[in-house]
Amino acid sequence: MAGSPSRAAGRRLQLPLLCLFLQGATAVLFAVFVRYNHKTDAALWHRGNHSNADNEFYFRYPSFQDVHAMVFVGFGFLMVFLQRYGFSSVGFTFLLAAFALQWSTLVQGFLHSFHSGHIHVGVESMINADFCVGAVLISSGALLGKTGPAQLLLMALLEVVLFGINEFVLLHLLGVRDAGGSMTIHTFGAYFGLVLSRVLYRPQLEKSKHRQGSVYHSDLFAMIGTIFLWIFWPSFNSALTALGTGQHRTALNTYYSLAASTLSTFALSALVGEDGRLDMVHIQNAALAGGVVVGTSSEMMLTPFGALAAGFLAGTVSTLGYKFFTPILESKFKVQDTSGVHNLHGMPGVLGALLGVLVAGLATHEAYGDGLERVFPLIAESQRSATSQAMYQLFGLFVTLMFASVGGGLGGLLLKLPFLDSPLDSQCYEDQVHWQVPGEHEDEAQRPLRVEEADTQA
Amino acid sequence: MAGSPSRAAGRRLQLPLLCLFLQGATAVLFAVFVRYNHKTDAALWHRGNHSNADNEFYFRYPSFQDVHAMVFVGFGFLMVFLQRYGFSSVGFTFLLAAFALQWSTLVQGFLHSFHSGHIHVGVESMINADFCVGAVLISSGALLGKTGPAQLLLMALLEVVLFGINEFVLLHLLGVRDAGGSMTIHTFGAYFGLVLSRVLYRPQLEKSKHRQGSVYHSDLFAMIGTIFLWIFWPSFNSALTALGTGQHRTALNTYYSLAASTLSTFALSALVGEDGRLDMVHIQNAALAGGVVVGTSSEMMLTPFGALAAGFLAGTVSTLGYKFFTPILESKFKVQDTSGVHNLHGMPGVLGALLGVLVAGLATHEAYGDGLERVFPLIAESQRSATSQAMYQLFGLFVTLMFASVGGGLGGLLLKLPFLDSPLDSQCYEDQVHWQVPGEHEDEAQRPLRVEEADTQA
Amino acid sequence: MAGSPSRAAGRRLQLPLLCLFLQGATAVLFAVFVRYNHKTDAALWHRGNHSNADNEFYFRYPSFQDVHAMVFVGFGFLMVFLQRYGFSSVGFTFLLAAFALQWSTLVQGFLHSFHSGHIHVGVESMINADFCVGAVLISSGALLGKTGPAQLLLMALLEVVLFGINEFVLLHLLGVRDAGGSMTIHTFGAYFGLVLSRVLYRPQLEKSKHRQGSVYHSDLFAMIGTIFLWIFWPSFNSALTALGTGQHRTALNTYYSLAASTLSTFALSALVGEDGRLDMVHIQNAALAGGVVVGTSSEMMLTPFGALAAGFLAGTVSTLGYKFFTPILESKFKVQDTSGVHNLHGMPGVLGALLGVLVAGLATHEAYGDGLERVFPLIAESQRSATSQAMYQLFGLFVTLMFASVGGGLGGLLLKLPFLDSPLDSQCYEDQVHWQVPGEHEDEAQRPLRVEEADTQA
ipTM, two decimals: 0.94
The pLDDT tens digits of the residues spanning B317-329 come to 999 999 999 999 9
What is the rounded distance in angstroms from the CA atom of residue A446 to the CA atom of residue C277?
Answer: 14
What is the rounded distance in angstroms from the CA atom of residue B82 to the CA atom of residue B430?
Answer: 9
The pLDDT tens digits of the residues spanning A138-188 come to 999 999 999 999 999 999 999 999 999 999 999 999 999 999 999 999 999
The pLDDT tens digits of the residues spanning A427-455 come to 999 999 999 998 765 544 444 444 433 43
Question: Does residue C458 have a pLDDT over 70?
Answer: no
Number of H-type helices and E-type strands within chain A: 21, 3
Query: Quick one: pLDDT at residue B155?
Result: 97
Instruction: Provide the strand spans (E) within C10-112.
Output: 34-36
Q: What is the pTM of this model?
A: 0.95
Nearest C-alpha in B relative to A367: B43
What is the rounded distance in angstroms from the CA atom of residue C26 to the CA atom of residue C203?
Answer: 37
Task: Evaluate whether A203 touches A77 at the Cβ level (below 8 Å).
Answer: no
Question: Does residue C277 have a pLDDT over 90?
Answer: yes
Which residues from chain A sit within 8 angstroms of residue C223, using beta carbons?
Answer: 76, 90-91
What is the rounded distance in angstroms from the CA atom of residue B348 to the CA atom of residue B360?
Answer: 18
Q: Is B32 on the interface with C (CB under 8 A)?
A: no
Task: Evaluate whether B207 touches B425 at the Cβ level (below 8 Å).
Answer: yes
The pLDDT tens digits of the residues spanning B72-126 come to 999 999 999 999 999 999 999 999 999 999 999 999 999 998 999 999 999 999 9
Amino acid, res. C356? G
Bridge partners of B115, per DSSP, are B118
Q: What is the mean pLDDT of residues B199-224?
A: 92
Q: What is the mean pLDDT of residues C311-325?
A: 97
Instruction: Determine, for residues A41 and C275 on separate chains, whether the beta-carbon distance falls below 8 Å.
Output: no
Instruction: Determine, for residues B438 and A213 on separate chains, whether the beta-carbon distance falls below 8 Å.
Output: yes
Q: Is C139 on the interface with A (CB under 8 A)?
A: no
Task: Evaluate whether B294 touches B257 at the Cβ level (below 8 Å).
Answer: yes
Q: What is the mean pLDDT of residues C145-158?
A: 96
Chains touching C (3+ CB pairs < 8 Å): A, B
Instruction: Determine, for residues A46 and C370 on separate chains, whether the beta-carbon distance falls below 8 Å.
Output: yes
CB pairs under 8 A between B and C: 227
pLDDT band at A6 (very low <50, low <70, confident <90, very high): low
What is the rounded distance in angstroms from the CA atom of residue C240 to the CA atom of residue C250?
Answer: 10
Task: Evaluate whether B308 touches B253 at the Cβ level (below 8 Å).
Answer: no
Question: Does residue A457 have a pLDDT over 60?
Answer: no
Q: What is the mean pLDDT of residues B305-332?
A: 96
The pLDDT tens digits of the residues spanning B132-191 come to 999 999 999 999 999 999 999 999 999 999 999 999 999 999 999 999 999 999 999 999
Instruction: Determine, for residues C41 and B249 on separate chains, whether the beta-carbon distance falls below 8 Å.
Output: yes
Strands C118-121 and C114-115: antiparallel
Which of the given ranges, A202-211, B343-352, C10-19, has the highest pLDDT on average?
B343-352
What is the rounded distance in angstroms from the CA atom of residue B373 to the CA atom of residue B368?
Answer: 9
Distance of CA A269 to the CA centre of its chain: 24
What is the rounded distance in angstroms from the CA atom of residue A255 to the CA atom of residue A234?
Answer: 6
Structural element, H or E, at residue C118: strand C118-121
In this structure, the number of other CB atoms found within 10 A of the CB of residue A50 comes to: 15
Please, what is the average pLDDT of chain A?
Answer: 92
Q: How far is B358 from chain A (nearest CA, A)?
A: 37
Q: Which of A94, A103, A447 to substitute to test the interface with C, most C CBs within 10 Å?
A: A94
More confident residue, A451 or C143: C143
Question: Does residue A306 have a pLDDT over 50?
Answer: yes
Query: Quick one: pLDDT at residue B10?
Result: 65
Query: Quick one: pLDDT at residue C209?
Result: 87
Amino acid, res. A305? F
Question: Does residue A458 have a pLDDT over 60?
Answer: no
Question: Does residue A269 have a pLDDT over 70?
Answer: yes
CA-closest candidate to residue B352, choices B388, B391, B313, B399? B313
Distances (CA, A) of C438 to B76, B432, C441: 21, 22, 8
**Rg, chain C, Cα only:** 22
B430: left (phi over 0), alpha (psi -120 to 50) or beta: beta
Phi then psi for B118, rounded to 5 degrees? -135, 150
Q: Which of B14, B39, B46 to substitute to test the interface with A, most A CBs within 10 Å?
A: B46
Q: How far is C158 from chain A (nearest CA, A)?
A: 35
Phi then psi for A195, rounded to 5 degrees? -65, -40
Which residues from chain C sit within 8 angstroms of residue B372, using beta carbons?
Answer: 42
Please, what is the average pLDDT of chain C?
Answer: 92
CA-closest candidate to residue B158, choices B107, B210, B223? B107
Question: Does residue B429 have a pLDDT over 80?
Answer: yes
Structural element, H or E, at residue B280: helix B280-285
More confident residue, A44 or B218: B218
Distances (CA, A) of B399 to B169, B242, C303: 8, 25, 61
Query: Quick one: pLDDT at residue A441?
Result: 58
Please, what is the average pLDDT of chain B?
Answer: 92
The pLDDT tens digits of the residues spanning B13-39 come to 999 999 999 999 999 999 999 999 989
Nearest C-alpha in B relative to A365: B43
Distance of CA C418 to the CA centre of its chain: 27
Task: Evaluate whether B216 touches C435 at the Cβ level (below 8 Å).
Answer: no
Q: What is the mean pLDDT of residues B62-70?
A: 96
Amino acid, res. A67? V
- The 8-class DSSP code of residue C35 comes to E
What is the rounded distance in angstroms from the CA atom of residue C104 to the CA atom of residue C7?
Answer: 32
Q: Is A434 on the interface with C (CB under 8 A)?
A: yes
Give pairs for C70-73: CB < 8 Å, separation 24+.
Answer: C70/C134, C70/C228, C70/C229, C70/C232, C70/C233, C70/C235, C70/C236, C71/C97, C71/C130, C71/C133, C71/C134, C71/C137, C72/B227, C72/B230, C72/B231, C72/C97, C73/B224, C73/B227, C73/B228, C73/B231, C73/C224, C73/C225, C73/C228
